[in-house]
């Protein structure tokens, strides 16, 4: 969990971002507080003038009315500015959290489930955004009681003394409220995030749940944190209710005591009738120190929510340099002693590879061998814990973001298309060019789709390339072909296909590979493969086992080893490596592995 320092830093940034609006709110609140403090004095003075039949009562009454009207207008302005400050602060906090989430390496963002992230970005960011306005209004919430207490001392010192005698109880009440409320709010928000995360998981696996008829079990699983959430929510209301009940007894007692003392002063001739009226009003305003509980409660919720939001904002960003790649270089890729460890578990260890520019390399191995981790390190979706990755002799960590993403293109087993950012099929494919390049033309989009064997089915959609992404009924293979098209249009020096053809039939896969091999699409290709045919058509095969490179070389040479054949078959068969004339290496597709591994999170080229 992020430290309180991280949350405080986030809230301070929100205050700075809304400085203008917050300052205007503060001025309105303070001016309104001044009006509130001036009205009782003017009303009391008016009453004394009227009772004594002295001139000037009408002027004092007019000023009283003006201040009352100003107080109403300032209160209305404060409400408007509060909402504006809340909106601006929330937007800034949300963008900070989103930037932290998207700017870090995928493995650092992975521990935060989608539902929990949505809760942090929506609910918790909104609660955090109320802090600047709450700070401004809390100033007036404190100024009014202090000013009223000073006014009581001026009217009659004993009225102020009586009120001060009850302050320790009131302050103890506020402290108890702050401590208990902070704990219950934090626990409530964590339980709320847990439910959202489980619900998102269930929605993602809705088809599996329906097929397995486990809806009731999933419902129970999703709602496991609900009793805890209800318990802490109930505790929040109990804390609030006890604070209101106690203040509802204490504050009227204090007000009554102040008025009683002022009445004694009136009987003794030490306080005028107008002074008694003003004292009664100031006693009520001084008792309003209990009203600090509202902005205090808001600040408590905001700080607790900011702790959760700051976890996203404070995610370590991937640093980038300013280096550029040498022009017209072939795309040589080198991995030198690369090690990647996650959660204390080494995923790949001491991987050293040299891949010539323009070649096609297939990475094979059993599930968990480290293939996808290798692919992620090769295109810098993750940074190695040791070693380095170089493209054309330049360390990927030294490249600028635009240079890195312009030089690499990714396609995944389960590509994701954002219907909000890229509403149509055409714009979704065009997004593969990345922000640093010129926008893709309709012709280049169609060419990329044709190379990925996607143009035919896209043209059959109701609106063709203008079909909304969310309305396109795509099969797994069609989605993969669109992901490949997006990678093709953003082709740089290095193209990484992380099991991106697993859902394609053999004929379509060969057409895609033929398109990749054309001179117009020449680049270095790193393909995480599960099919024998893919490995057989590669220039080189990297055989991964337990996070290490067991062997690398031509498929025909590796095929002679039974353990290599066992990577692709349920049971190794003593067979000789087939010649290229009888097929591009390996047994028929029917013996290829069926289930692809988990894809590296991402949505396509240059992610």
**Same-domain status, 452 and 554:** yes
State which of 285-299, 426-440, 560-574 shows the largest mean pLDDT.
426-440
- For residue 75, is it within any domain? yes
Residue scoring higher pLDDT (188 or 606): 188
pLDDT at 570 over 60: no
Average pLDDT over residues 228-249: 74
DSSP code, position 79: H
**Same-domain status, 552 and 569:** no
**Same-domain status, 446 and 590:** no
**Same-domain status, 545 and 572:** no
Judge whether 240 and 181 are in contact, CB under 8 Å.
Answer: yes
- For residue 318, is it within any domain? no
Structure tokens at 423: 């509403």
Mean pLDDT in the chain? 81
**Same-domain status, 570 and 538:** no
Where are the extended beta strands (E) located within 343-407?
345-355, 360-364, 386-391, 394-395
Give residue-wise pLDDT tens across range 486-507. 888 876 789 999 888 877 877 7
Average pLDDT over residues 185-214: 80
Ramachandran bin of 382, using left for φ above 0, alpha for ψ from -120 to 50, beta for the remaining angles? beta
Q: What CATH number corresponds to the domain at position 538?
A: 3.40.50.300
How far apart, in Å, are the Cα atoms of 477 and each of 49, 342, 432?
Answer: 90, 31, 19
Model confidence at 508, in pLDDT bands (50, 70, 90)? Answer: confident
- For residue 325, is it within any domain? no
Residue that is last in its domain, among 246, 280, 313: 313
Among all chains, which residue has been given the structure tokens 């990297």? 542
Phi and psi at residue 552, to the nearest 5°: -140, 150
* DSSP-H helix ranges across 205-292: 206-212, 215-222, 226-267, 273-287
Give residue-wise pLDDT tens across range 256-300. 777 788 777 777 777 778 777 878 777 777 766 656 667 777 888
Query: The domain containing residue 592 runs over which residues?
Result: 563-607
**Same-domain status, 513 and 420:** yes
- Domain count for the chain, please give it: 3
Task: State the sign of the Cα–Cα–Cα–Cα dihedral 528, 531, 532, 537.
Answer: negative
Using alpha carbons, select from 607, 588, 375 the residue that is nearest to residue 487: 607
Residues whose CB falls within 8 Å of the CB of residue 93, separated by 6 or more in sequence, listed in order: 10, 14, 125, 128, 129, 306, 309, 313
Give residue-wise pLDDT tens across range 365-401. 998 899 999 999 999 998 999 999 999 999 999 999 8
Structure tokens at 51: 């009772």
**Same-domain status, 179 and 241:** yes
pLDDT value at residue 118: 84
**Same-domain status, 600 and 474:** no
**Same-domain status, 370 and 299:** no
Ramachandran bin of 343, using left for φ above 0, alpha for ψ from -120 to 50, beta for the remaining angles? left
How far apart, in Å, are the Cα atoms of 87 and each of 22, 95, 125?
Answer: 12, 12, 10
pLDDT value at residue 210: 81
**Same-domain status, 554 and 591:** no
State which of 46-50, 76-80, 200-204 shows the largest mean pLDDT.
76-80
10 Å CB burial of residue 213 (0-12, 13-18, 19+) is exposed
pLDDT value at residue 600: 33
Give the containing element (helix H, strand E) for 121. none
Give the containing element (helix H, strand E) for 407. helix 401-407
Ramachandran bin of 390, using left for φ above 0, alpha for ψ from -120 to 50, beta for the remaining angles? beta
pLDDT value at residue 89: 94
pLDDT value at residue 308: 87
Dist CA 102 CA 81 (whole Å): 31
- For residue 387, is it within any domain? yes
- For residue 328, is it within any domain? no
- For residue 270, is it within any domain? yes
Model confidence at 340, in pLDDT bands (50, 70, 90)? Answer: very high
- For residue 69, is it within any domain? yes
Dist CA 524 CA 331 (whole Å): 6
- For residue 356, is it within any domain? yes
Residues whose CB falls within 8 Å of the CB of residue 447, separated by 6 or more in sequence, listed in order: none
Model confidence at 354, in pLDDT bands (50, 70, 90)? Answer: very high
Structure tokens at 324: 């550029």
**Same-domain status, 517 and 392:** yes
**Same-domain status, 13 and 155:** yes
- Comparing 304-308, 367-371, 565-569, 603-607, the range with the smallest average pLDDT is 603-607
Judge whether 300 and 178 are in contact, CB under 8 Å.
Answer: yes
Structure tokens at 262: 């002022």
Q: How many CB atoms lie within 10 A of CB 74?
A: 21
Dihedral angle computed from the Cα positions of residues 68, 158, 156 and 166, in that order, rounded to the nearest 10 degrees: -10
């Amino acid at each position: 969990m992020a430290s309180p320092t991280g949350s405080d830093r986030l809230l301070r940034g929100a205050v700075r971002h809304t400085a203008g609006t917050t300052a205007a709110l503060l001025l309105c609140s303070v001016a309104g507080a001044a009006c509130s403090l001036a009205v009782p004095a003017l009303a009391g003075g008016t009453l004394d003038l009227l009772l004594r039949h002295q001139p000037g009562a009408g002027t004092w009454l007019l000023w009283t009315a003006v201040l009352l009207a100003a107080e109403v207008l300032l209160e209305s302005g404060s409400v408007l500015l509060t909402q504006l400050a809340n909106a601006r602060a929330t937007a800034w906090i949300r963008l900070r959290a989103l930037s932290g989430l998207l700017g870090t390496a995928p493995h650092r963002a992975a521990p935060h489930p989608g539902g929990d992230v949505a809760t942090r970005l929506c609910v918790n960011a909104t609660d955090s955004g109320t802090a600047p306005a709450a700070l401004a209004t809390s100033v007036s919430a404190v100024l009014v009681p202090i000013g009223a207490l000073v006014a009581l001392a001026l009217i009659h010192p004993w009225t102020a003394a009586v009120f001060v005698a009850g302050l320790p109880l009131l302050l103890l009440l506020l402290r108890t409220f702050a401590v208990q409320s902070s704990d219950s709010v934090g626990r409530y928000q964590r339980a709320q995030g847990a439910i959202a995360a489980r619900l998102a998981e269930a929605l993602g696996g809705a088809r599996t749940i329906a097929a397995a008829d486990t809806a009731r079990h999933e419902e129970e699983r999703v709602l496991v944190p609900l009793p805890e959430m209800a318990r802490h929510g109930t505790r929040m209301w109990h804390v609030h209710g006890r604070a209101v009940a106690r203040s509802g007894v204490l504050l009227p007692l204090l007000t009554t005591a102040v008025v009683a003392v002022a009445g004694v002063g009136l009987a003794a001739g030490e306080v005028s009738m107008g002074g008694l009226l003003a004292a009664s009003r100031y006693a009520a305003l001084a008792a309003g120190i209990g009203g600090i509980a509202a902005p205090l409660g808001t600040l408590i919720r905001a700080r607790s929510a900011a702790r959760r939001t700051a976890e996203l904002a404070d995610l370590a960003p991937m640093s980038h340099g300013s280096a550029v790649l040498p022009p017209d270089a072939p795309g040589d890729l080198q991995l030198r002693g690369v090690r990647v460890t996650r959660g204390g578990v080494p995923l790949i260890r001491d991987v050293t590879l040299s891949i010539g520019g323009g070649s096609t390399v297939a990475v094979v191995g059993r599930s968990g061998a480290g293939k996808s981790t290798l692919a992620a390190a090769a295109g810098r979706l993750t940074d190695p814990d040791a070693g380095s990755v170089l493209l054309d002799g330049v360390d990927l960590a030294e490249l600028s973001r635009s240079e890195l993403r312009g030089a690499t293109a990714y396609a995944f087993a389960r590509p994701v298309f954002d219907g909000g950012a890229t509403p149509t099929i055409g714009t979704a494919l065009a997004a593969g060019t990345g922000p640093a390049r010129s926008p893709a033309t309709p012709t280049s989009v169609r060419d990329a789709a044709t190379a990925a064997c996607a143009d035919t089915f896209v043209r059959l959609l109701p609106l063709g390339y203008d079909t909304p992404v969310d309305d396109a009924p795509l099969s797994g293979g069609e989605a993969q072909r669109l992901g490949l098209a997006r990678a093709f249009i953003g082709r740089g020096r290095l193209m990484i296909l992380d099991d991106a053809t697993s859902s394609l039939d053999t004929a379509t896969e060969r057409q895609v590979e033929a398109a990749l091999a054309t001179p117009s699409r020449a680049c270095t290709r790193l393909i995480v493969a599960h099919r024998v045919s893919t490995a057989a058509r590669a220039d080189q095969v990297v055989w991964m086992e337990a996070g290490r490179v067991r062997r690398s070389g031509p498929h025909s040479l590796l095929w002679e080893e039974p353990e290599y054949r066992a990577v692709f078959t349920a049971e190794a068969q003593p067979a000789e490596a087939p010649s290229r004339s009888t097929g591009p290496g390996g047994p028929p597709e029917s013996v290829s592995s069926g289930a692809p591994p988990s894809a590296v999170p991402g949505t396509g080229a240059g992610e």
